[in-house]
Amino acid sequence: MDALLKGSASPLQAGLTWGSTLGLLPGRGGLQELKGGGMREVKETAAWRQNGFLALLALLLALLWLGWAGYRLLTEKELFYLWHLIPALLASGLLAAGLFTVQPNEAVALVFLGRYVGSVRDEGFHFTNPLAQRKRVTLRVHNFTSDKLKVNDAQGNPIEIAAVVVWRVVDTAKALFQVENYQSFVAIQSEAAIRALASRHPYDAEGRSLRGSPEEVAEELKAELEARLQVAGVEVLEARLTHLAYAPEVAQAMLRRQQALAVVAARRLIVEAAVGMVREALEGLEEAGLSLDEERKAAMVNNLMVALVSEAQAQPVGRPGPAFPRPPPRAPGKGRGRLPRSPVADIPLSEKPLYPAHPYPSSPGQGCQTLRLAQGPKDLQNSVQKRVWMPLLQGDENPSPLLKGHLLLQDPSLPQ
């Protein structure tokens, strides 16, 4: 306008400037052609608007003018008042058509003659170009909950996954003119992003997984959705998984596998903790000045590991092992008066008395008394022979080799 007044601008340029100001033409930055395609990128701009209450006052004046012209035309029937009636009627209609309201968290996009001319975000009562088409876009927060999708994870296992996406519109021009239906666009792109996310990560693994890393997975899903929905002027506030499970046809098999992996991990943790406790015990003994040789350390480590790793409650059992010194072997023939055990093991005999009825058992299956070969001192051997076995030898014409040996009957009445 200043350039037109100064004479430095042509009337055409001034008309375009006034048209952009009044909302008749799109302002700067409203339309930009995309690279490599025919579709134009639309960015939100501020539309021309005025206070609606001032326009309402003008509308009341136009209505009074219209009423006065109509009354004079009917009473005086002069053509002069008809020329007042027509402008008053047009002014009243245009003023009434240009009034509109904007609610909180709402925007109104204006389209004039097929061109986007701007948006009004300020809440309240406004007046704008009455010939412009108005399209309302809500700026409130939306929730989108996807259905349970059956996809294959990174390991090829079929899983069921669902997510919730919290989003809102931040660019009304892109939401209206970049995509056909921005709400349907958000739903379709959200499901596509969820499928892509599930195919890149395993359901359960030691590293990053869908089940073990929920926060990282949510951030990755949010970043991918923002990249997909940027063209529609949509901002993603939050994206999080709401359902994650194996598919019913493989749920039982994968549950057993998951339990086995959990048992292995728990065992590994228990063994690592037990090794650390044994190491601390050995270091504590060394710090206390108690030195153990390698054999005793091995026995101690074995006992501690069994007690710590065992699932059942450990019961202490005293068992002499390599940790205790063994007594030196005695020289043969130098006993302490105790009869050594014979190389011949227990020999079962008849339950019936050996003397005088049966000198020896009639069959190997009989008996439940025990005899042992006596290889003890000679005086004890002779006394037993004279007391028990000498009468048997004298009464038996053909004694067996077994009775010829020195036998000791385990009887409380005999001397031990």
Which tokens in the block code for residue 159? 């899983």
Give residue-wise pLDDT tens across range 100-142.
999 999 999 999 998 999 999 999 999 999 999 999 999 999 9
| pLDDT above 90 as % of the chain | 38
Distance of alpha carbon 233 from the chain centroid: 31
Half-sphere exposure of 400 (CA within 13 A, CB side): 8
More reliable by pLDDT, 184 or 208: 184
Q: What is the pLDDT of residue 328?
A: 57
Burial of 17 (0-12, 13-18, 19+ CB in 10 A): middle
pTM (predicted TM-score): 0.56
Q: What is the C-alpha to C-alpha distance for residues 87 and 94, in angstroms, rounded to an integer?
A: 11
Whether the predicted pLDDT of 346 surpasses 90: no
- Residue 251 class from Cβ within 10 Å (0-12 exposed, 13-18 middle, 19+ buried)? middle
* Contacts for 32 with CB less than 8 Å, ≥ 6 apart: 40, 41, 42, 43
pLDDT of residue 386: 44
Q: What is the mean pLDDT of the chain?
A: 74
Residue 202 has pLDDT above 80, yes or no: yes
- Domain spans of the chain? 2-138, 142-246, 253-309, 347-409
How far CA 33 is from CA of 28, 40, 41, 319, in Å, comes to 13, 4, 6, 90
Q: Strands, DSSP E only, in 95-233?
A: 99-102, 106-112, 115-120, 124-127, 133-138, 142-145, 149-152, 158-169
Determine what percent of the chain is predicted with pLDDT higher than 70.
Answer: 65
Q: What is the pLDDT of residues 372-384, one digit of tens each?
A: 434 444 444 444 4
pLDDT in tens, 299-316: 878 877 777 777 666 565
Look at 4-8, 78-82, 131-135 and tell me which has the smallest mean pLDDT: 4-8
What's the pLDDT score for residue 313? 62
pLDDT of residue 282: 81
Q: Rounded mean pLDDT of 168-188?
A: 94
- Identify which of 70-79, 138-147, 298-307, 387-396 has the greatest average pLDDT: 138-147
Tell me the mean pLDDT in the region 235-262.
Answer: 86
Q: What is the DSSP letter of 235?
A: E
DSSP-derived pairing of the beta strands 99-102 and 106-112:
unpaired
Q: Decide if pLDDT at 85 tops 70.
A: yes
CATH number of 142-246: 3.30.479.30
pLDDT score at 190 = 95
pLDDT at residue 330, as a whole number: 58
pLDDT higher than 80, residue 213: yes
Listed residue (59, 142, 129, 76) closest to 100, CA to CA: 129
Tell me the per-residue pLDDT of 16-70, one tens digit each, with 9 for 90 and over: 444 444 444 444 444 444 444 567 788 899 999 999 999 999 999 999 999 898 8
Question: Diameter of the chain by CA atoms?
Answer: 177
